[in-house]
A and B are shown apart, each in its own frame.
Chain A
Amino acid sequence: MAHLSELAAEPQRLSNAYQNWYRFSRNPSAVIGTAIVIICILTAIFAPLITPYPEHVGAVVNFRERHLPPSADYWFGTDNVGRDIFTRVVFGMRISLLLALVVLATAVPVGTVLGLLAGYYGGWVEIVIMRFTDIALAIPGLVMVMAVAAVLSPDLLTSMIAIAALWWTWHARLIYSITRQTRVQDYIEAAETLGASKFHILFREILPNCVSALAVKTSLDAGFVILIGSTLSFLGLGIQPPTPDLGTMVASGAAFLPSYWWESVLPGCAILFVSLGFNLLGDGLRDMFDVEDVR
């Protein structure tokens, strides 16, 4: 009997971290998403080592080998000036991920802090922040981003600013609604009773309640940000040639459809791959945390 009771007690002893890992590893979309995201990040970091023709990133021309279909030498074929498309896709991935990283690293903290403040204090703070958010959200995202990008000179930094200026509002809205629900709980009142500082209540009591929703939203967002960044480049408002960008490559390759299909379809597949990865990861995290009403 002693053995039995010991066995029965054993699962209780598993650490919380292990239980989370177990649930995560049993979720196919989370695992596939994570794998894709890791592959993308690794190729981006080690781009100069993996790519066969790193010199093709810049303004190189090799007209003798232009428009070549995918082959053993050129995995994704070559473009209209004879550059290796695989090399440029890998470097383009680097730019897309950088874009997502910078945009989210600015928009998420800004939106989170504003959402916390609006939700916790209410009153004028809420009116100012949330009405501004509502106005920003009422304008279609792409139109807003295009307007900002068109006013400024088109380059990578402009795209980042334009997207980040729009993106924080989504996070402000999400965090605001969670804060409103959490603020009225007894444990917040208890913390106030004990004289905990506003900083403690906002960042140590309420924010941890937002973390799961924030993680889901942020990973879903990474895919969307990359998509919007590529859209901007496709329309010529984002990154300018010769810097390799997935959106720009799709646009320039589109002129040669359908005969030289690989020039736009394969960079397009790369966009699909990376945003699919982030979306699967986000969905997986959502299943795992059981978070509702994100998106």
Chain B
Amino acid sequence: MSSALLSVRDLHVDFTTYNQTHKVLKGINLDIPPHSQIALVGESGSGKTVTMKAIMGLLRQPLARITAGEMYYDGRDLLTMPDKERVALRGTAMSMIFQDPMTSLNPVFTIGDQMRTILKYADRRLGRTRSARERKVRVLEVLGQVRMRDPERVFQSYPIMLSGGMRQRVLIAMALLSEPKLLIADEPGTALDVTTQAQILKLMKDLVEERGLALLMITHNLGVVRETCSYVYVMNKGVVVEHGSTADLFAAPQEDYTKALIAAVPRLTGETRFGTVEAMR
């Protein structure tokens, strides 16, 4: 498993509130090989987002503390590397797609301004130099890659002038700006209507496949998992309860929790009965 792009070993995270300690992650193991599409599923509060934040290095210290475990990106130890190198990895080697297109863009700057600033900072961290002109060319190129029909217009638009789906595509474009190898998506498109969400997921899948990226999709939506990911990790109460290829896991779930999760997916046909995973608590 040392060939993995990202590997997480026995990760423990504690949260301390009012002198009380909560064990939120209790030994997570996760492997993301290059060019793979991995899903991390589980109900709200299962620790998906905390896992993602630990990977990105975004946990709020000292509120949250990594008490045990190891994380390697491309063979480099993420937990012991200096802060400066860690920051340099963010947004360049590993990028994150934000989930809410309404609040993730600064309303007072045009899309072009914001994307050029991101690129400027990424370049500075990587020690690259690029002229303002070249930066604009790169931004327009990426906007084209996320299938904006008129990149020049989007470049000059303020966020309020774009629809939710377009804004989500801008967020994807932002994550792709400096050609990351690992893309992390936290509940992408949950703020959008189903049709638009389906388009966004299709776009993400295509982009990841075309460019040979690795994708870590964090979601509670099993339909999304089935369509976009090849391998699934199921989380509950801070541990990975089951993992396996998407096909196997959906065909023959081993754990009761996974079965309950699959049974809880609302269906359009047949009797309308909303299952819950309440029984598992």
- Residue A8 is within 8 A (CB to CB) of chain B in the complex: no
With contact pairs A16-B156, A195-B87, A205-B106 given, residues A190 and B98 touching in the complex (Cβ less than 8 Å): yes
Q: For B114, what are the chain A residues with a Cβ–Cβ distance below 8 Å? A: 187
Q: For B108, what are the chain A residues with a Cβ–Cβ distance below 8 Å? A: 208-209, 211
Q: How far is the CA of A45 from the CA of B88 in the complex (A)?
A: 53
Q: For B26, what are the chain A residues with a Cβ–Cβ distance below 8 Å? A: none
Of residues 191 through 219 on chain A, the ones whose CB sits less than 8 Å from some CB of chain B are: 193-196, 204-205, 208-209, 211
**Complex contact A194–B91 (CB within 8 A):** yes
Closest to A185 in B: B103
Of residues 29 through 59 on chain B, the ones whose CB sits less than 8 Å from some CB of chain A are: 56, 58
- Residue B205 is within 8 A (CB to CB) of chain A in the complex: no
- Residue B166 is within 8 A (CB to CB) of chain A in the complex: no
Report the contact-size class of chain A (Cβ under 8 Å from the partner): 10 to 19
A186 interface neighbour in B88, B98, B125, B158, Cβ under 8 Å: B98
Report the contact-size class of chain B (Cβ under 8 Å from the partner): 20 to 34
Of residues 56 through 96 on chain B, the ones whose CB sits less than 8 Å from some CB of chain A are: 56, 58, 87-88, 90-91, 96
**How far in angstroms is the closest Cβ of chain B from A95?**
36
Q: For A16, what are the chain B residues with a Cβ–Cβ distance below 8 Å? A: 110, 156, 158
Q: How far is the CA of A97 from the CA of B56 in the complex (A)?
A: 53
**Complex contact A186–B109 (CB within 8 A):** no
**Complex contact A194–B107 (CB within 8 A):** no
Q: For A195, what are the chain B residues with a Cβ–Cβ distance below 8 Å? A: 87-88, 90-91, 121, 125
Encode contact with A along B98-138: 1 for CB under 8 Å, 0 otherwise: 10100111111110001001100110010000000000000
**How far in angstroms is the closest Cβ of chain A from B28?**
21
- Residue A5 is within 8 A (CB to CB) of chain B in the complex: no
**How far in angstroms is the closest Cβ of chain B from A273?**
34
**Complex contact A193–B58 (CB within 8 A):** yes
**How far in angstroms is the closest Cβ of chain A from B275?**
32
- Residue A259 is within 8 A (CB to CB) of chain B in the complex: no
- Residue A12 is within 8 A (CB to CB) of chain B in the complex: yes
Q: For B153, what are the chain A residues with a Cβ–Cβ distance below 8 Å? A: 12
**How far in angstroms is the closest Cβ of chain A from B249?**
31
Q: How far is the CA of A145 from the CA of B91 in the complex (A)?
A: 51
Q: For B56, what are the chain A residues with a Cβ–Cβ distance below 8 Å? A: 193
**Complex contact B90–A194 (CB within 8 A):** yes
Q: How far is the CA of A208 from the CA of B158 in the complex (A)?
A: 13
Q: How far is the CA of A209 from the CA of B156 in the complex (A)?
A: 18
**Complex contact B106–A194 (CB within 8 A):** no
B122 interface neighbour in A185, A194, A209, A211, Cβ under 8 Å: A194
Q: For B125, what are the chain A residues with a Cβ–Cβ distance below 8 Å? A: 195
**Complex contact A193–B103 (CB within 8 A):** no
**Complex contact A209–B91 (CB within 8 A):** no
Q: How far is the CA of A103 from the CA of B108 in the complex (A)?
A: 28
Q: For A209, what are the chain B residues with a Cβ–Cβ distance below 8 Å? A: 106-108
**Complex contact B104–A187 (CB within 8 A):** yes
With contact pairs A187-B105, A208-B109 given, residues A194 and B121 touching in the complex (Cβ less than 8 Å): yes
Q: How far is the CA of A12 from the CA of B109 in the complex (A)?
A: 17
Q: How far is the CA of A205 from the CA of B108 in the complex (A)?
A: 9
Interchain residue pairs A-B with the least CB separation, the first 7: A195-B87, A186-B104, A208-B108, A187-B106, A186-B103, A194-B91, A185-B103
List the interface of chain A (C-beta within 8 A of B): 12, 16, 185-187, 190, 193-196, 204-205, 208-209, 211
- Extra contacts, 6 of them, besides A16-B158, A190-B104, A194-B118 (Cβ < 8 A), are A16-B156, A187-B106, A195-B87, A195-B121, A208-B109, A209-B107
**What are 24 A-B contacts with C-beta separation under 8 Å?**
A12-B153, A16-B156, A16-B158, A185-B103, A185-B106, A186-B98, A186-B104, A187-B103, A187-B104, A187-B105, A187-B114, A190-B104, A193-B90, A193-B91, A193-B96, A194-B87, A194-B122, A195-B90, A195-B121, A195-B125, A196-B121, A204-B117, A208-B106, A209-B106
List the interface of chain B (C-beta within 8 A of A): 56, 58, 87-88, 90-91, 96, 98, 100, 103-110, 114, 117-118, 121-122, 125, 153, 156, 158
